[in-house]
Amino acid sequence: TTPPITVQEGASVELIDVVKDYSGQRALNGVNLSMARGEFVALLGPSGCGKTTALRALSGLEQVTSGSIRINGVDVVGTPVNKRDIGMVFQSYSLFPHMTVTQNVEFGLEMRRVDAASRRRRSAEALDLVGLGQLGGRYAHQLSGGQQQRVALARALVTRPRVLLLDEPLSALDAKVRVQLREEIRKIQTELGITTLFVTHDQEEALAVADRVAVMRAGDIEQIGTPEELYRAPATDFVAEFVGISNRIDGVVSGGSVTVLGHRLPLVRPDVADGPVRVFLRPEDVSLAPAGIPATVVATSFLGSLRRTFVRLDDGAVISVQHAARETTSPGQDVFLALSGSPVTVTTARG
Ligand code: ATP
């Protein structure tokens, strides 16, 4: 008999120089990505950058134009979808409406000619895993969106795949359910140790769930790193602006530090050549102060435990400042700013 669903092993995954052309248009421009066994990687990028294409190439739903894809070191480019040992969840719930929850989850096992008793046992186990043990007899239309995605997850996991692919699985859900379900997906993924690729255009979601995030832009991976690395040391302007809210202002590097708004600050990467640069300051690295850099409040938003205030500097640049909610500000007010001593990121020197 099959061991419990929690006893399985994730596979390593490699995309090597993967190119995908759609009738002359290049969707993937030589993508390289290595995932360790059990790793959770988020593929993050704006609409049309090739995230879904990369995921579909890995699954086998899309044939690659060139390059290789390896699962546990074995090239799977010629292997059909159903032989790649991959589970998938998509944005739309894609449950069979005329089947019960249990029948939906058992479907993949039936295709694999698993006997009825084992199907029953394994689907019950998968539904327990996603917290829906009691709802096996319901139909899809009797479930909330979040519950339907849980069923889709159970259906993807019940065949004990070695890789799980999630394509914007939370996009259709409301904000609160999104956050709950992403935490649950992460918990289940950790418990199962299943290698997971999660496609999203939501940077907060990517940073919150993934071990590493691959930022895609126009068919290429621009940077891969842990959430902290991407947030603190983005390699390019694109990554700095796509990941987290950034204040982009001019600075000048000299002698291993950068001067910005009349203050000298340390650099994340001290090996930057002297000269004019773009400096990225996170909102939490700027604060309101009794004296310092003069600015005028443009707008302010209350975020519960904190407030974010947009201010205009003397040179016209608008930046955002994060501060305690009890420090109130109002549009038109003159304030002063202080910069924290945290290292800052600078990117490409201006021409
Ligand atoms: P989104 O977040 O909007 O889904 P994405 O990052 O997943 O975007 P893809 O769906 O992978 O992007 O699309 C990448 C590029 O390939 C786009 O320019 C898209 O128009 C193109 N493309 C995708 N699928 C096809 C197809 N079947 N035929 C032709 N072009 C396609």
C-alpha of residue 52 to centroid of ligand 1, in Å = 7
Summarize the chain as % helix, strand, coil (round to 5): 25, 35, 35
Give residue 256's pLDDT: 87
Mean pLDDT within 98-115: 93
Mean pLDDT, the chain, rounded, equals: 92
Give the C-alpha separation, 322 to 208, whole Å: 19
Find tokens 């940073």 and name the residue.
207
Taking the CA of residue 212 as centre, how many other CA atoms within 13 Å lie in the half-sphere pointing to its CB? 14
User: Is pLDDT above 50 for 350?
Assistant: no
**Residues present in the chain in total:** 351
For CA atoms 287, 293, 294, 295, the dihedral sign is negative
Give the 3-state secondary structure of residue 227. Answer: helix
Q: What is this structure's pTM?
A: 0.90
β-strand pairing of 212-217 with 220-225: antiparallel
Beta carbons within 10 angstroms of residue 149's beta carbon: 29
174 alpha carbon to ligand 1 midpoint, in Å?
Answer: 25
**What are the backbone angles phi and psi of residue 204, rounded to the nearest 5°?**
-65, -40
Say if CB 10 and CB 23 are below 8 A apart.
no
Q: Which residues touch 28 (CB under 8 Å, ≥6 apart)?
A: 18, 19, 20, 50, 53, 54, 57, 64, 219
Q: What is the pLDDT of residue 346?
A: 82
Tell me the DSSP string of 254-268.
ETTEEEETTEEEEBS
Does residue 2 carry a pLDDT above 70? no
For 112, phi and psi rounded to 5 degrees? Answer: -90, 10
Residue with tokens 């850099």: 293
- Cβ proximity of 254 and 270 under 8 Å: no
Choose one of 25, 28, 31, 171 to mutate for the ligand 1 pocket test, by most ligand atoms within 8 angstroms of C-beta: 25
Of 149-163, 190-204, 212-226, 230-244, where does mean pLDDT reach its minimum? 230-244
Could you give the domains of the chain? Answer: 13-232 (3.40.50.300), 245-349 (2.40.50.140)
- Band of residue 351 on the pLDDT scale cut at 50, 70, 90: very low
Q: Looking at ligand 1, which atom is closest to the CA of residue 56?
A: 11
Under 8 Å between Cβ of 166 and 41: no
| Complex prediction ipTM | 0.93
Q: Whose CA is nearest to atom 17 of ligand 1?
A: 48
Angle at 41 between CA 37 and CA 44, to 5 degrees: 160
Q: Which atom of ligand 1 is nearest to the CA of 20?
A: 16
